[in-house]
Structure 1
């Protein structure tokens, strides 16, 4: 009888340990996204974190506070990612002109044009924005859910 009790105790403790570990594994780790970007797109870690930061910064500035909270809900270290976004004058040069012309139209072109300056500040071509986005969408969908991914996709 004592052996059976010990076995049941071990099983119960193992179950508790697994339950406690679930929230940590359910949230996607941002380092996984950055690793995917560096390996699949051949960018540096600094470029990956800066590009992701720029995308999330754009989302923060163009979604309502509640919608951005939905996007950010499952993403650990969001503040750190946002801090990696390069500072770029929104109205500087040709990028500013393109952004202002396309920004009013909303949707894909306006959002991508808005990010072009940030990506160029990271030493990336503007067309890299469209290569980052599918990986970021997948990450957000896994971390924060399909609704959050839809909100982000609506910006681009």
Structure 2
């Protein structure tokens, strides 16, 4: 009887922790995520995934050295990249896509963003709202040169 009570108490504590703990990205990325949620009215999960999607495209498009400069300006970049949804795989296209320039990024570019945002419950119109907000944040943290690298990728 005592063990059942103890088990119930432990489960209740774990449940409370899970319910009231912000998503896994929050600790390191709270400033950017807070900016996106407050200015754009999106959830934390949407902010993390949307920003992560844009940064994933930047990582695929920029040189390793340049993306490192971007990553230094955005705390928790690894967590944001992990929060980005994967693009749906097209049957029979895996080998073709990888041979056409798809390294680990798989040929990921701006054309894939609507699908990624869609997986997060946002329409493609949100992309144009995310970009200036993130660019402004990156400019404040990393300066004009880092912001312009991202602008070159996202606003072609």
TM-score category of the 2 structures, normalised to the smaller one: 0.5 to 0.7
User: Unpaired runs of 5+ in structure 2?
Assistant: 1-27, 92-107
Distance across 2 between alignment mates of 1:90 and 1:135: 29
Q: How does 1:80-99 map to 2 (within 5 A)?
A: 80-89=79-88, 91=90
Distance across 1 between alignment mates of 2:117 and 2:137: 19
Bigger Rg, structure 1 or 2:
1
Please report the TM-score for the alignment, with normalisation by the length of structure 1.
Answer: 0.66
Distance across 1 between alignment mates of 2:64 and 2:83: 20
| Distance of aligned partners of 1:63 and 1:90 in 2 relative to their CA distance in 1, 3 Å threshold | farther
Distance across 2 between alignment mates of 1:117 and 1:37: 19
Runs of 4+ in 1 over 6 A off after TM superposition: none
User: Unpaired runs of 5+ in structure 1?
Assistant: 1-28, 93-109
Distance across 1 between alignment mates of 2:149 and 2:123: 25
1:42 is aligned to 2:41 = yes
Q: How does 1:11-90 map to 2 (within 5 A)?
A: 30-89=29-88
1:123 is aligned to 2:121 = yes
| Distance of aligned partners of 1:123 and 1:147 in 2 relative to their CA distance in 1, 3 Å threshold | same
Tell me how far 1:74 sits from its aligned partner.
2.1
Q: Deviations over 1:89-111 (max 9, x none)?
A: 2658xxxxxxxxxxxxxxxxx95
Distance across 2 between alignment mates of 1:141 and 1:30: 16
Distance across 2 between alignment mates of 1:90 and 1:146: 36
* Alignment root-mean-square deviation, CA: 1.9
Higher helix fraction (1 or 2): 1
Q: Is the CA contact (8 Å cut-off) linking 1:54 and 1:85 kept in structure 2? A: yes
Please report the TM-score for the alignment, with normalisation by the length of structure 2.
Answer: 0.66
